[in-house]
Every structure is written in structure tokens, then in C-alpha cells.
Structure 1
Amino acid sequence: MEFLKQFLIFSGLNEEEFKQIERIAMKRTYQPRMFVFMEGEEREAVFFIKSGLVKTYKIDEAGNEQVISLLQSGDMFPHVGFFDRSPYPATAEAVQETELIVIRIADFDDLLMKYPQMTIKVMEIMGKKIIDLQERIQGFISKDVQHRLTHALMKLAAEHGVRKGKGVYINLPITNQDFANMVGTSRETINRTLNEMKKKNLLSADRSGILIYDAEWLNGSS
């Protein structure tokens, strides 16, 4: 339960209240490429990532994967639908071996009814996600691929980055295809754009992550 205390929605609860959460929380482990849930399935639970990496995405009419987010330890999901019975809005898939803390929707609803301060915090989280989505849509409309990729790198650096001197290291095993799915282009275009950035000594990448040499460049170019 010490792990769950770091989440915004649980801040302010006392030890007795946390004991109630402990009674309804479960632990599940997922291997890489296992589905946590699929888009359109009946909503079952709220998930809190203890370790690992989860990718959420939608499939468009042409069958293309559109990555919505990459989530790691300390994240909760899904971020919408807490106040209705709508199905899961996207698919969630484990990228690495992942350990989740799971609270069933019915039990989570009871928590929201019992502790109104949690409901307010959930609404704050949903509001931030809506703003993120609006910014992403605006980027798709008004920016070229390089700007969209730079914005994606900036967001990943903010959420998952570790400072390395003047730079920042994005500690995620993200593929070029994942980037293509995030910014709405082809893998070939992402390959070309990343190679151009590497030639300019802006970044380097391997299977475990991406190193941005100068964080100021990243913030100034997006």
C-alpha cells in the first residue's frame, strides 16, 4: 500500500482508509505483448502500474495502430469513463513484464462515493488528459512530421526522462514504429527524421531508450 500512497487521488487518506483500499486491491502480472484489456470490452477495473511498461492505442478504420500513451510505474489508467459504464476506450498492452495493482470498477465507484475528495482529484486528472489530447490534435493539424516527433520526444522526456548532464535520457524501449503510430506517419518517415537528428548530433538511440544531448534544444524546438 506504500506504493499506492504516491498517487494523487489517494493523497490525504489516513491509515484506516488505506486499509480499506488494501482489502479490495489485487495484484496481476502481465508478460510482454499480453493484453490488459481491449478496446470495446466491458470496463472491469482501474489499474495502477507498479513496474513495467504499458502501451495504450486505438486501431483506425484502415487497421493502423494509433498510440495514445506509454505508461510506466506510478501511472494509473484508463483515464476516462470513471462516471459511466462505457466500455474501454482503447486497448492496453504490456510492452515489458508488468506488475499492476487492480481495483474493480464497482469497488472503485464505492471509494469515489465514500471519499468525495478522491472524485475531485479524478476530475483533475481527466482534465489534464483532455488538455494533452487537445495539444496533440493541434499538433497534428498545424505541424510537420519533425515538429510532431520533437513534441512527442519532449512529452516522453517530461514523463519518463532522467537528466544526464545537459541532456535527458528517455528510459523506454520505444520502437520507430511506435513513434510512427504516435505522430501519425510511416515508419520509413520516422527512420529518416531520426537519422537526420542523429547526423546533427541532437540525439542517439538504442533498443533501451533515447538520449537527447541538449534538453534546451528539445524544449526550444517543439
Structure 2
Amino acid sequence: MQDNIHALFKNHGIFIKVDKDSKIFLEGERAEALFYIESGAIQISQETESGKELTMRICGPNSIVGEGTLFCQLTYNSMTAKVLEPSTLYVLSQKSMEHLLTEQPLMMVEYLKWLQIENYKHQSRLRDLILNGKKGALFSTLIRLTNTYGKPLDDGAIVINFPLTNLEIANLCGTSREMINRMLNDLKKHHILTFDKGYITIHNLKFLKDEIACENCPLQICRID
């Protein structure tokens, strides 16, 4: 499916390069296009009424952003897309995407299958954030980051091969940076993980899973992108 969707964007979209910290679209801005990530990383976030930022996804290569406005009356973006590292994208207008999918029923089915998986991912993450408290929110986020960006090491540990500040982790967990600082330091003290220059290495993934009674969802669901 990814190859088919990639081909759709590549054949009909516009290729662009975007710099770190630039915004692809803003919350409240008119929604007019979808974006396929060829390389790089894009953060999808929403701001609460109090001004706090909640990060919903960190999307890497082969992800689509802006898909929520397709075939519906929602004409404004409900979230903001920020570039975390220099990225390359294919841009396809919403009207063009709707037309192409309508003309190709089999592609429409594949797109709907992909969208359903995305919905499962979001539901699973929101469930963990709501039901497991602040500690559970951090632990489930670390598990998802490991599944998405994890690189196994020879000693059995897994390094999350994507640098994150404590504030960025806090935004993923819907809590404060101070709370995340305390919990990460406690996990480090008990040799569950270590961190260096933004990179976290998980030494005891089983502990994190046991603490939140992890259901071992399929890896395509238990992700952060």
C-alpha cells in the first residue's frame, strides 16, 4: 500500500524541501493540501486553551500529514505541523487527492485501510494517556518511541535513534517538563534507561511494559508516528 500511495504523490504532487522549525500548516488555517514525507520528521501538535502544547504525532518517512480533512466538511486544520529536521515532502492538493481516489476505487480502498490503522494508533495512544496516569503516559510513550525509532544494540538494549528534549517528551505525554525530569531521572537511577545528548537508551523494556500491563499491540499500531 505504501508504494501505491507514494507513487500517487510522486506522480501527481509537487516536491518541496522544508527547513527545520518551519511550519507546514497552522492550527486554524484553511486546509488545502496533504503532505507525504519523503525524508525528515514532522511534529503534529495542538495548543490547549491555556497555551500548553500537546504533541499528537512525530511523523517520519512514508507518513502522510493533513489527511484528516479529506472527503469531509472540515475546512480548517485542527493541528499545527512543525518541521523537526530538514525534510523533503510531496504536496498534493486536497481536491486533486479526492479526484484521484474517486477515479481509482482500488486505491481508495487501500487508502481507507491505511486511514483505519492510523485511527487505531491514535485511539490506542489516547487510551494510554488517559487511563495510565502521568507515569503510564511516559512509559507508553517510551515504548512507542522504541517501536518507531528503536535501534537494537549488541547488549540487548535499544537506543531511540531520534533526539528529543525533555520538553518535547513532556508535550508527547501531556504533562510538565519538571514531571518528566523527575520520572526520567528515577528510571535512570534504577537502570531502566540512560540518556545522553537527547538520545534515550532503553535497557529494560520489559519493566516499562509490565508497569502499564502492556497488551502487546501489533507494532504497526503501537507507534508514535
- TM-score, normalized by the shorter chain, greater than 0.5: yes
**C-alpha distance in structure 1 between counterparts of 2:133 and 2:187, whole Å:** 15
Cα 1:208–1:109 change in 2 (3 A) is same
Counting only pairs closer than 5 Å after superposition, residues 122-201 of structure 1 correspond to structure 2 as 122-165=111-154, 166-201=156-191
1:215 alignment partner in structure 2: 205
1:150-171 residue CA offsets vs partner (Å, 9 max, x unmatched)? 1001111112222223222211
**C-alpha distance in structure 1 between counterparts of 2:120 and 2:77, whole Å:** 20
TM-score (norm 2): 0.84
2:2 alignment partner in structure 1: 7
Runs ≥4 in structure 1, deviation > 6 angstroms?
none
2:51 alignment partner in structure 1: 63
Aligned partner of 1:81 among 36, 61, 69 = 69
The residue type equivalent to 1:72 in the other structure is G
Q: CA deviation at 1:21?
A: 5.3
Any stretches of 5+ residues in structure 2 without a counterpart?
213-225
Any stretches of 5+ residues in structure 1 without a counterpart?
1-5, 12-17
Does the CA-based 8 Å contact 2:5-2:111 persist in structure 1? Answer: no
Q: CA deviation at 1:125?
A: 2.4
The residue type equivalent to 1:92 in the other structure is A
**C-alpha distance in structure 1 between counterparts of 2:133 and 2:116, whole Å:** 27
The residue type equivalent to 2:89 in the other structure is L
State, as a whole percentage, how many aligned pairs show the same letter: 25
Counting only pairs closer than 5 Å after superposition, residues 44-123 of structure 1 correspond to structure 2 as 44-86=32-74, 87-123=76-112
TM-score (norm 1): 0.85
Q: Over aligned residue pairs, what C-alpha RMSD do you find? A: 2.1
Does the CA-based 8 Å contact 1:171-1:208 persist in structure 2? Answer: no
Alignment: residue pair count: 210
Cα 1:207–1:164 change in 2 (3 A) is same
1:140-195 residue CA offsets vs partner (Å, 9 max, x unmatched)? 33212221101001111112222223222211121111111111211000000000
Structure with larger RCO (C-alpha < 8 A, sep 6+): 2
The residue type equivalent to 1:7 in the other structure is Q
